[in-house]
Structure 1
Amino acid sequence: MAENDDVRRRCLRRGPQTLRGEAARRPTFDQMLLDTRRHDAAAPPAEQVHSTATDAWRVLRIQSEFVEGFGTLAELGPAVSVFGSARTGEGTAEYELARAVGRELVTAGYAVITGGGPGAMAAANRGATEAEGTSVGLGIELPHEQGMNEWVGIGIDFRYFFARKVMFVKYAQGFIVVPGGMGTLDELFEALTLVQTGTVTRFPIVLVGREFWGPLVDWLRDTLAARGMISPEDLDLVSVVDTAQEAVAAVRAVAQGERA
């Protein structure tokens, strides 16, 4: 009985779909696109999904995600993407830091964009909402996905990570990164690569929390730069601060053409 209850409670978000029970055991869209080795017995027979599972039809799904994202965010105005851990607990120092970042961004005239999930993302959305600003969540289909946090005012659910990542960059004037894990590091280094290669220009990237981010910055300087794998000037692509106020000031300095 307990196992049956667990199956009924299991929930998966697939783009606009919400699936529970046995239906939630199906692979995600990213898994179907990228993991050619996957053979999931719970997946429906190939003949039932052939028309929408071939690569050609997936292109149309991907196109629809861009259309939805562009249409929803086209009139967003100045915004900053905030990244951080989904595992950050409410009431912790890291949670309150992200909440303060959201609040300070709204005060400075920016909308706040997050991944729409729990933890630091919810905290930043909460700060933006409490400051009566625009709070955006860009959700993603994941196994055991919990859906949008309650502080999101404008939410879009994506099936594909790369479509979602485009929205984070296209509609933001900068990134503020609070302590986080693998996903946060992925977003951070993708942003650094875009700026380093000149794909995006005048794009501030601010790390909040010297104690947390200091060892990473030391490694960039003492290992990558020291061995010639990045240029010494690449270290200037990122700012490290301790407070939400300093983070927003660093973003505004670049936006105003000043030297942070």
Structure 2
Amino acid sequence: MSTEPLDPPDEKDGPGERADPWYRRGPIGFRRSQVPEETTDERLLATPSRADWVHSDPWRVLRIQSEFVEGFGALAELGPAVSVFGSARTPVDSPEYATGVEVGRRLVDAGFAVITGGGPGLMAAANRGACDAGGTSVGLGIELPHEQGMNEWVDLGVNFRYFFARKTMFLKYSQGFVVLPGGFGTLDELFEALTLVQTGKVKRFPLVLLGSAYWGGLLDWVRGTQLAAGTISARDLDLLTLTDDPQEAVDLMVRARQASPRPRD
């Protein structure tokens, strides 16, 4: 886990980029020739070619356990929070970035901490809005082949080696998700949460898609293909809310908090 602030970007760097950024693996940082060729997740999921996994995998369980312990310890007293997801590639001068800042600010004004993946783009936008509003701005980072590091608006940062440990933190310490335009990672978080709500593993968990021009086609496909084929039910569509209004997204989170006054275990 790393919580120290990052240096601001060099003037010669592009938006959200830094010269020789740190590659994070838990509490350890690497640069240049020391950057490992494989991520921890990659090694975990690799097909073993020999029987040495019998010796390495049981020890790996302890590392996985430590990630849960560190995450729980860092976030246990966070209070009501909402996770905001979106693309790391969105430029700062885009309308979507401005929307992300507004969402972060409005969530803090409504009494929530803001949690993101800690990276650049729309994650940084939501963290920036939360930070500017004087609220708690959280980033849950992940070890990636091209490490981006925590954005400068994160006040509490936790770095993870394993995606599944990180996903658990998003779900355990959030009362809902606001999903801005994003790529595969955003879809991954969205549909994992959607599946947990659909199957009753998580209750009273609002999922808001913010941006009808971006998300409308996805919902059209869900209705026209999945619902038409009978692979989902009509009531499953009610689990998602599509809007262009950041305040509507925040209001849904507030109503969910009022309907569920006790924190989830």
Task: Answer yes or no: is the 8 Å Cα contact 1:206–1:239 preserved in 2.
Answer: yes
The question of 1:163 aligning with 2:165 is answered yes
Task: Answer yes or no: is the 8 Å Cα contact 2:21–2:149 preserved in 1.
Answer: no
SS in 2 for 1:109: coil
Mapping for residues 87-236 of structure 1, pairs under 5 Å: 87-236=89-238
Q: TM-score under structure 2 normalisation?
A: 0.86
Per the alignment, do residues 25 and 105 of structure 1 end up closer, same or farther by CA in structure 2, a change over 3 Å counting?
same
SS in 1 for 2:98: helix
Aligned to 1:22: 33
Counterpart residue identity of residue 27, structure 1: E
The question of 1:35 aligning with 2:46 is answered yes
Q: 1:12 aligns with which of 18, 23, 30?
A: 23
SS in 2 for 1:226: helix
Displacement of 1:35 after TM fit? 2.1
**Structure 2 CA distance for aligned equivalents of residues 250 and 223 of structure 1:** 27
**Structure 2 CA distance for aligned equivalents of residues 253 and 17 of structure 1:** 41
Displacement of 1:21 after TM fit? 2.0
Task: Answer yes or no: is the 8 Å Cα contact 2:119–2:148 preserved in 1.
Answer: yes
Aligned to 1:54: 56
**Structure 2 CA distance for aligned equivalents of residues 9 and 77 of structure 1:** 35
Displacement of 1:227 after TM fit? 0.7
* Cα deviations by residue, 1:43-94 (Å, 9 ceiling, x for unpaired): xxxxxxx89x811111000000000000010000000000000001112101
Task: Answer yes or no: is the 8 Å Cα contact 2:175–2:256 preserved in 1.
Answer: no
**Structure 1 CA distance for aligned equivalents of residues 104 and 199 of structure 2:** 29
Task: Answer yes or no: is the 8 Å Cα contact 1:239–1:250 preserved in 2.
Answer: no
Structure 1, unpaired ranges of 5+: 1-7, 39-49
**Structure 2 CA distance for aligned equivalents of residues 218 and 59 of structure 1:** 42
Displacement of 1:243 after TM fit? 1.9
Displacement of 1:25 after TM fit? 3.4
Displacement of 1:23 after TM fit? 1.7
CA RMSD of aligned residues (A): 1.8
Higher relative contact order (CA 8 A, sep 6+): 2
Q: TM-score under structure 1 normalisation?
A: 0.88
* Higher normalized helix content (fraction of residues): 1
Structure 2, unpaired ranges of 5+: 1-18, 261-265
**Structure 2 CA distance for aligned equivalents of residues 202 and 10 of structure 1:** 39
SS in 2 for 1:155: strand
Task: Answer yes or no: is the 8 Å Cα contact 1:203–1:254 preserved in 2.
Answer: yes
Aligned to 2:81: 79
Displacement of 1:221 after TM fit? 1.0
